[in-house]
């Protein structure tokens, strides 16, 4: 398994940044435009154990998988959601998003992504995997949140 963690300061209120991760499909698509559907299958009161069927468009192909909420916390100054899913019967993926309120208009977002190949030959591909995807995701969230906050 390979894991990457990175964090970024975003000049936007914590609730606004959280809305991309714990909100509507429309909000989610602002930072993850490839997600074309996010249907609730099972919703729990505490968040953990909730399942969403997600469709993700990669080129002309659409992948469908169930996203499981593994950890969830929604406090005023600290928020966290950890999800897990299996992509194309090839990779087990987890994503952990942690938000911390630094000031009224400033939020720290930490993102940890982990990928575990499920087939031996995919382990070779993991040698070339870098944290570039994690860093570019954080930069996109920052750009979108700050552009919406300043307007």
pLDDT digits (tens, 9 = 90+) for 106-145: 999 999 999 999 988 888 777 777 788 889 999 999 999 9
Q: What is the pLDDT of residue 151?
A: 54
Q: What is the pLDDT of residue 73?
A: 96
Q: What is the pLDDT of residue 14?
A: 97
Q: What is the pLDDT of residue 120?
A: 84
Q: What is the pLDDT of residue 1?
A: 87
**Ranges of residues in the chain whose predicted pLDDT is under 70:** 151
Task: State if pTM tops 0.85.
Answer: yes
For the chain, where are the E strands, in sequence order?
2-10, 35-42, 51-58, 61-74, 78-87, 91-103, 106-117
Query: Which residues have a Cβ under 8 Å from the Cβ of 88 and sit 6 or more positions away?
Result: 63, 65
Can you read off the two tokens belonging to residue 108? 């720290």
């Amino acid at each position: 398994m390979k894991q990457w963690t990175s964090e970024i300061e975003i000049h936007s209120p914590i609730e606004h940044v959280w809305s991309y991760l714990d909100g509507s499909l429309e909000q989610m698509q602002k930072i993850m435009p490839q997600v074309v559907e996010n249907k609730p299958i099972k919703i729990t009161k505490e968040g953990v154990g909730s399942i969403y069927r997600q469709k993700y468009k990669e080129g002309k192909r659409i992948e469908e998988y169930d996203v499981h909420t593994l950890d969830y916390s929604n406090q005023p100054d600290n928020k966290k959601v950890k999800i897990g899913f299996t992509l194309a019967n090839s990779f087990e993926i987890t994503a952990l998003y942690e938000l911390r309120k630094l000031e009224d208009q400033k939020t720290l977002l930490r993102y940890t992504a982990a990928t575990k190949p499920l087939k031996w030959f995919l382990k070779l591909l993991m040698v070339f995997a870098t944290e570039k995807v994690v860093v570019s995701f954080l930069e996109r969230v920052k750009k979108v949140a700050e552009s919406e906050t300043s307007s």
